[in-house]
Copies of this chain bind each other. A is one copy, B any other.
Amino acid sequence: MGGIPSMKGSIRISEIFGPTVQGEGPLIGRPTVFVRTGGCDYRCSWCDTLYAVLPEFREEWTLMSPAAILAQVEHLAGSTPVLVSLSGGNPALQPLAPLIEQGHRKGHTFALETQGSVPQPWFAALDWLMLSPKPPSSEMTTDWQALDDCISAAAGGPHCALKVVVFDEDDYAYARFAACRYPTLPVYLQVGNPAPLVTHTGPGSEEANIDDVMRGFRWLVDKVTADRWYAATVLPQLHVLAWGNRRGF
């Protein structure tokens, strides 16, 4: 309305890549094309995708229309319907309703992961909504009301799941609280990745320390089983084990 017409409804994209497999959460191992949006309302201390978060990477981001995004997804996926994983940054900051609607018409399915800080009415149109509130080690503060609102927005729509990254005891206690607060949601505990690609203090290593990841995994399995928390699912990040901290996998 009076702006630049070509920008209306555009989505800020950091990268589109795949098909590869989802490395995390309830769809672990499932082939997917990732659509990563640029921009985030959080600054997690251990963020592993700062290139999709920090304003200094903004010139790497592209404003794309839903049609252009779908064209790129379909180019990558060979014109076969595919699971599209909407990630970020925080993809809930972008106007994704038309992308989801147009993609559904072509047979694609959509999973979105967000920290749950910004509810959107179009969450109900998703196929999967992974809510990943950030634990104390992230140095962020959870707005539980916003998370409640995200879950309400999704009601009657997608499969919903909670995913909590756990680095330490405080994170674990936070995960227990989150699970207790949302007793109807399946909970995925994800081992923290101690060596992200880019840190706040400069570039990190592309080589993930698999020993560290699996040590964290064993520790978390021991915690969960000792606490008889049998409703939780404990997973490492499969893509980190397979490809380290490289981008595009």
Task: Enumerate chain A interface residues (CB-CB to B < 8 A).
Answer: 18-21, 28-32, 77-78, 80-83, 188, 210, 214, 217-218, 221, 224-225, 228-230, 232-236, 238, 241-243
A189 to chain B, nearest CB (A): 8
Q: Which of B77, B83, B228, B232 contacts A228 (CB 8 A)?
A: B77
Main SS at interface, chain A: mixed
Closest to A235 in B: B29
Contact: B218 with A31, CB < 8 Å?
A: no
The chain B residue sitting closest to A78, CB to CB, is B228
Contact with A77, one of B77, B230, B235, B241 (Cβ below 8 angstroms): B230
Add 13 more A-B contacts to A20-B225, A218-B242 (CB < 8 A). Answer: A18-B225, A21-B234, A28-B28, A28-B29, A28-B233, A28-B235, A29-B188, A30-B230, A31-B225, A31-B230, A82-B228, A210-B210, A241-B241
User: Of A21, A32, A229, which is in contact with the most chain B CB atoms at under 10 Å from its CB?
Assistant: A21
Q: What is the CA–CA distance of A59 and B30 in the complex, to the nearest angstrom?
A: 42
Cα distance, A29 to B188, chains bound together (Å):
9
Is the CB–CB distance between B31 and A229 below 8 Å? yes
Closest 4 CB pairs of A and B: A29-B233, A19-B225, A80-B228, A29-B235
Contact of A221 (CB < 8 Å), options: B21, B80, B232: B21
Indicate which residue in B29, B224, B229, B242 contacts A214 across the interface (CB closer than 8 Å).
B242
Bound-state Cα–Cα, A77 to B210, Å: 29
A-B contact pairs, 26 of them (CB 8 A): A19-B225, A19-B230, A20-B221, A20-B225, A21-B221, A21-B224, A21-B233, A21-B234, A28-B29, A28-B233, A28-B235, A29-B234, A29-B235, A30-B233, A31-B224, A31-B225, A31-B230, A31-B232, A77-B230, A78-B228, A82-B228, A83-B230, A210-B210, A218-B243, A221-B242, A241-B241
Contact B29 A81 (CB under 8 A): no
* Set B83, B214, B234: member contacting A241, Cβ < 8 A: B214
In the bound complex, residues from chain B placing their C-beta under 8 Å from that of A29 are 28, 188, 233-235
Across-interface contacts of A188 in B (CB, < 8 A): 29
